[in-house]
Structure 1
Amino acid sequence: MKQYFFILFIFNLFTVNAQQETDSLAQTNKEYETVLFNDNNFLDILFYKHFNNTPISNLGTYGSSFYFPTTYNLDNQKNVFAPTSVKDKLFKLEGFKPFTNLTWINAGRREQILSLNHIQKFGKLASLHFNYKRVSSPGIYINQEANQNLFTGDFRFNTDNNLYQLRLAAEIDRIENQENGGLADITDFEKDSLGRRSLYTVNNEQSYYTLKQTNVEVSQRLNFINSKIDSIRSNKVYVGLENEYNTKRRSYFDYDISSPIYAETYLDSTSKFWVDSTFAKYFRNTINLGFDNGKFSVQGSFDYYQHEYNQFMGIDSNFNSFYAGLMIGYKTNKTITNANFSYGLNGYNADDVNSSIHVKYKPTEILTIGLEGSYKLIEPELYYKNFISNHFKWINDSLEKEQTIYFGAKVKLEKYRLTLFANAKLRDNFMYFDTLVNLIQHDFATNNISLGVEKDYRIYKFHFKTALIYQITSDDVIMPLPNIVARQVVYYENKLFKRSLKVRVGANASFTSDYYAYEFMPSISQFYAQNKNEIGAYPYVDFFISTHLKRAQVFFKWEHINAGMSGYSYLLTPTTPAHDRSFKFGVSWNMFD
């Protein structure tokens, strides 16, 4: 009880201090309203299954395992949902007005999503940000369901003279999914031979897995030299200490041992428990020393990782890694450059290299050029070296370090609402699962290239958004990419009721050319190569009505409205159909004060 009153007292203290600055922050509040009333990102909320104009490739239900078939995201799978965060924009302001975004999307039994995003500043000294996401997608086939609860939080505090800075961060992720391994006979679906989707035979009828991941981080920084250059800039010499604790447990339960997907895999028929489980945790200590004058910054660091890793039927191991790192930043009125480099000194990751550079150049108000590059030389995870379970077994005693070279460029012309980009990736000695779900280290280089253009334009009250991506891959099976990814959005926009209500009515069409998309193995949650069936060459069309009244967006969406009109070839993996036509209702509401 005493702790409660103490927290309440601190909260009120910050609030009172903030209220005393109200008059001086009137302009800031106007900037807040500019951010909060901006509805340019309404398409991101509507089409949260797209990322950079590329539709998701998943297991049929949102929240299930997925990847985006592009050069950048093929091996950088991310959990993407409505990328509409305004956190960075608001934190740059000196105001204190709290902000909350509540987004709820309902598609009946097929899918429900809830997202709560809150940002609050306590005067100039402290800030709080947290996000909660809940996904529930029961699916329409047997043993097909996705459930996720994700919480992320971030609290920052600095003293009035910026002598000391503190950051507390946490992430808690809980996933409980059923993944059926696809339909047993996809030709039944392509012929639409059964009336009800729940009647189709799937590859695995009784299985599910859970993923529990927790991450806690404490970062502290002491500016022991802080001398002012002018009213904005100052010379800072600082020492920092970071501590991070991370745990991750994945458990798989299988009650369908006769499933045909295990015909070519190892299977321990003597085991009494059909459970596969891996557990990993690490504790990281980082100490850094740096200099920053607002224009140039440099920071050196030493990282120490202590790892623990074990499997239900396999190894139980403890190992360490020690890194040295360097970060350099440079800012001018037109250019922002950041470079990072780390090297494994000893331990499990000895001689690892992880480096990157990002350059943003804005010579004029209408032109922005972005360049990024990276080089990685990484020791394969212990998971790839030794794994034993009820369903799979591999031992790789001599693996080479995985090597990745990446380059990306983007040119954005604000005046013409035009974006051009190019990405290229070269990979060598990377790990993948072949067509028999055997773990293989590819012993020669594979490259992928993506070239794209995005254009927004308007004719009268009709708005158009066009995106076209052309991709090249050196191996269509191991690193499959569709040659063409295309998207077209068109909508009519008008303001009604004395221009207080903005209404948009339109459609979205997404298309990928055919390619040998990955298949999925549920028991190890891994995508693997296949060279028998191509998917794609099918347009997905959505129709929507979106309204925006002050700070609230309300939309109605008919997703995949063309389902069945030109056959039943709409597949997300070679054995997983996309959802049929569905109706969705959603609300996204920005709240502050």
Structure 2
Amino acid sequence: MYIKYFLIFIFLSFSISLFAQAKLTSKSLTNRQQSISNDSLPTNRSKGFKNIATIDMYKQFNSELDSISVDTTLSLNKDLKFNYLQKDNFGLMPFANIGQTYNTLSFNASDNLSVPQFGARARHFNYLEHEDINFYEVPTPWTRLTYKTAFDQGQLLDAFFTVNLSKQFNFSIAYKGLRSLGKYQNALTSSGNFRFSSNYHTKDKRYSAKGYIVMQDLLNQENGGITTEDIENFTSGNKEFLDRSVFDPNFEDAENILEGKRFYFEHSYRITTEKDSSNNKLAIVNKISFEDKYYQYDQQSNSTDFFGDAFTNSIKDKVTLENFKTSFGVNYSNKLLGQIGLALNYTDLNYGYNSVVLFQNQQSIPNRIKSNFFGLEGFYSKTYKVFNISGKGSINLSDTFVGSFLDGSINLKLNKDISLSGGVSINSRLANYNYLLYQSDYINYNWYNFDNFKNINTQQLKFSIQSQKFVNAYLDISNIDNYTYFNLEETIDEVNIIKPKQYSKPLQYLRLKIQKEFKFGNFALDNTIMYQNVVGDDAVINVPEFITRNTLYYTNYVFKRSMRLQTGVTLNYFSKYNMNGYDSLLAEFYTQNETELGNFPRLDFFINAKVRQTRIFLKAEHFNSSFTGYDYFSAPNQPYRDFIIRFGLVWDFFL
């Protein structure tokens, strides 16, 4: 119901925008065109703002108060981020249909978490986490519409609107919706991401508050990929199978869905006044977060035996998580000491199912993991001339949910172009919930490892250099103990036996990423290369040794500088390796060492343009699919998409 009212709201704001723009005189329109070319927006200001609005006055920031500039220019980065995730997806291998999952070609071994994550991680690529939500401050109402074509009978649309009702109060509302039928049978995707955020501060800025609501649902029909017998028909380029809908998938009656609601509120009060806080500032801070989410897998029948024997003929697996967390602490800042924050937090979590599984041998699988505990968290930051030192950490005060993390970094700004940084991350936490407890109507997918699995321990060193003139490089070296993963144990009567497994030996993982752009007049060549190496006695982490993305493009103004045009070709490539398989029941990827995939190029040709505040994107994706060989897969038995032309645009307008 809220979606209907939201769309009405967007339509009204859109109509108001058109009416306001129509009232501009010819002189003001000329001035507006000139100012827009300079990213300046002379429009009416919200209450509390003065003078003419310029693009730098439109501010957005995340929960950590890191400022993110509002950028309406046309660049290669805009093309790289113009996708379903709306972020650079280097290191991710998309599946055939938009809205499906991604196979990870690379991963970050460490994370700043002290508790397990909800399972079904393959469904979480488009699931907005806490750090993905932004807050805003704008002098005039700002609306952004993002549109992109999908794969048959569907579209992708993201509509966003924010306004400051006064200098002190802002709210934003947005909804991203997708529907795409796909080229293969039973591959429909449908998702929706609704978000509302707001922030407020008093005129003296002693009290401030911010919060958001996020409601998300991500549904995928699942088909298990094409059958092993049909792989030859795909790789041979048989003309009878170029219409991908003729392939018989492994099954055609399954779907999974991930739904979640998150409510977050944070407020603070500065105890010291502006007069007596020139050197010392002290504030009390309170944060409250509640998330309720579930993952469900439905299959009308188990007649295919793809996942093995089942307890019932109709499959319906559902798991839920309720996670409540609150913290209360103080933030202190001093010109000499820097910024220090310390808080006591409380977590209450409830994960599990509504039934208990009992096998014939009297072995039982419990249905719940529940716990509540206190913890400590803190941060530190200090800037001195060209140096910045920062760190944050957390520890659980619990005997059962033992977990902690510590992340620290040092940044050095040598000059306007060159920045150096180094850091260390130490993390210890339990494996994700679906490794610890899982129930299913399929007999093979029932386990309880809460008492058996140890904490995953990770230590990571990281270094980076940022320089547009020379090179951008990032290096991290990780040591992992008790690495936990889903493993293809064996195949019995064409049924893959996939189980969670914990590796008791240490693993070392090295990742080096280098990016450099070369410019020749209006031409440019942008290169991103990644090298990876895993050291261990067994192949439990499989990643390609090399990943590369290279873009040759041309940029110039046309039509008397009224349009900025950008066109070029992008090459994506990764070396052959034992690519992880996809399990649609778990919505997880698993390690397998039987099928090598990769070593195929993906070429995309694009033409992008900007007219005033509208950016237009036209792309011929994978145009080499018909002449470089049909050996492209996103996972075993999961073919990648064929050549297709897609269109989209991003339209910003300001009242």
TM-score with structure 1 length normalisation?
0.88
**Residue 10 of structure 1 aligns with which residue?**
none
Return the match for 2:353 from 311, 316, 325: 311
Residue 170 of structure 1 aligns with an amino acid whose one-letter code is I
**Residue 411 of structure 1 aligns with which residue?**
465
* Superposed counterparts of 1:146-165, under 5 Å: 146-165=189-208
Return the match for 1:374 from 420, 425, 428: 425
Change (3 A) 1:345 1:303: same
**Residue 640 of structure 2 aligns with which residue?**
578
Change (3 A) 1:160 1:488: same
**Residue 7 of structure 1 aligns with which residue?**
none
Q: Distance in 2 between matches of 1:256 and 1:477?
A: 35
**Residue 397 of structure 2 aligns with which residue?**
345
Change (3 A) 1:293 1:228: farther
**Residue 355 of structure 1 aligns with which residue?**
406
Change (3 A) 1:547 1:67: same
**Residue 224 of structure 1 aligns with which residue?**
271
Q: CA deviation at 1:493?
A: 1.8
Using the aligned pairs only, state the percent identity. Answer: 20
Q: CA deviation at 1:48?
A: 5.8
Instruction: Work out whether residues 29 and 97 of structure 1, in 8 Å CA contact, stay in contact via their aligned partners in 2.
Output: no
Q: More deviation in 577-586 or 126-135?
A: 126-135
Instruction: Work out whether residues 348 and 373 of structure 2, in 8 Å CA contact, stay in contact via their aligned partners in 1.
Output: yes
Change (3 A) 1:457 1:80: farther
**Residue 259 of structure 2 aligns with which residue?**
212
Residue 292 of structure 1 aligns with an amino acid whose one-letter code is S
Q: Distance in 2 between matches of 1:140 and 1:80?
A: 21
Return the match for 1:251 from 296, 299, 303: 296
Return the match for 2:222 from 170, 173, 179: 179
Q: CA deviation at 1:260?
A: 4.9
Q: CA deviation at 1:152?
A: 2.5
**Residue 68 of structure 1 aligns with which residue?**
104
**Residue 12 of structure 1 aligns with which residue?**
none
Q: Distance in 2 between matches of 1:523 and 1:87?
A: 29
Instruction: Work out whether residues 425 and 447 of structure 1, in 8 Å CA contact, stay in contact via their aligned partners in 2.
Output: yes
1:384 maps onto 2:422 in alignment: no
1:79 maps onto 2:129 in alignment: no
**Residue 329 of structure 1 aligns with which residue?**
381
Q: Secondary structure at the match of 2:306?
A: helix
Q: Secondary structure at the match of 1:384?
A: helix
Residue 449 of structure 1 aligns with an amino acid whose one-letter code is L
* Superposed counterparts of 1:435-446, under 5 Å: 435-436=488-489, 437-446=498-507
Q: CA deviation at 1:68?
A: 2.7
**Residue 567 of structure 1 aligns with which residue?**
629
1:121 maps onto 2:164 in alignment: yes
Instruction: Work out whether residues 319 and 353 of structure 2, in 8 Å CA contact, stay in contact via their aligned partners in 1.
Output: yes
Q: Distance in 2 between matches of 1:27 and 1:278?
A: 49
Change (3 A) 1:49 1:170: closer
Change (3 A) 1:169 1:525: same
Q: Secondary structure at the match of 1:585?
A: strand
Q: CA deviation at 1:188?
A: 2.3
Q: Distance in 1 between matches of 2:636 and 2:133?
A: 39
Instruction: Work out whether residues 312 and 389 of structure 1, in 8 Å CA contact, stay in contact via their aligned partners in 2.
Output: no
TM-score with structure 2 length normalisation?
0.80
Residues 528-561 of structure 1, C-alpha deviations (whole Å, 9 max, x = no match): 1111111110000011111111211112111000
Instruction: Work out whether residues 55 and 510 of structure 1, in 8 Å CA contact, stay in contact via their aligned partners in 2.
Output: no
Q: Distance in 2 between matches of 1:262 and 1:203?
A: 10
Q: More deviation in 198-207 or 475-484?
A: 475-484
Q: Secondary structure at the match of 1:222?
A: strand
Instruction: Work out whether residues 150 and 172 of structure 1, in 8 Å CA contact, stay in contact via their aligned partners in 2.
Output: yes
Residues 313-359 of structure 1, C-alpha deviations (whole Å, 9 max, x = no match): 44034321221122111123423332111111125313x11111233
Q: More deviation in 139-148 or 63-72?
A: 63-72
Q: More deviation in 581-590 or 290-299?
A: 290-299
Q: Distance in 2 between matches of 1:299 and 1:144?
A: 48
Instruction: Work out whether residues 71 and 423 of structure 1, in 8 Å CA contact, stay in contact via their aligned partners in 2.
Output: no
Return the match for 1:543 from 567, 583, 605: 605
**Residue 4 of structure 2 aligns with which residue?**
none
Q: Secondary structure at the match of 2:398?
A: strand
* Superposed counterparts of 1:133-532, under 5 Å: 133-185=176-228, 186-193=231-238, 194-195=240-241, 196-228=243-275, 235-263=280-308, 267-269=309-311, 271=312, 273-293=314-334, 296-314=338-356, 315-346=367-398, 348-350=400-402, 352-391=403-442, 392-396=445-449, 397-416=451-470, 418-436=471-489, 437-474=498-535, 477-532=539-594
Q: Distance in 2 between matches of 1:234 and 1:389?
A: 59
Q: CA deviation at 1:128?
A: 2.4
> For this pair of structures, how many residues does the alignment match?
564
**Residue 11 of structure 1 aligns with which residue?**
none
1:587 maps onto 2:587 in alignment: no
Change (3 A) 1:472 1:30: closer
Residue 545 of structure 2 aligns with an amino acid whose one-letter code is N
Instruction: Work out whether residues 36 and 551 of structure 1, in 8 Å CA contact, stay in contact via their aligned partners in 2.
Output: no
Q: Distance in 1 between matches of 2:279 and 2:171?
A: 25
Q: More deviation in 288-297 or 363-372?
A: 288-297
Q: Secondary structure at the match of 1:246?
A: strand
Instruction: Work out whether residues 95 and 641 of structure 2, in 8 Å CA contact, stay in contact via their aligned partners in 1.
Output: no
Q: CA deviation at 1:205?
A: 1.6
Q: Distance in 1 between matches of 2:288 and 2:567?
A: 50
Unpaired runs of 5+ in structure 2? 1-42, 60-68, 112-120, 357-366, 490-497
Change (3 A) 1:509 1:81: farther
Change (3 A) 1:116 1:523: same
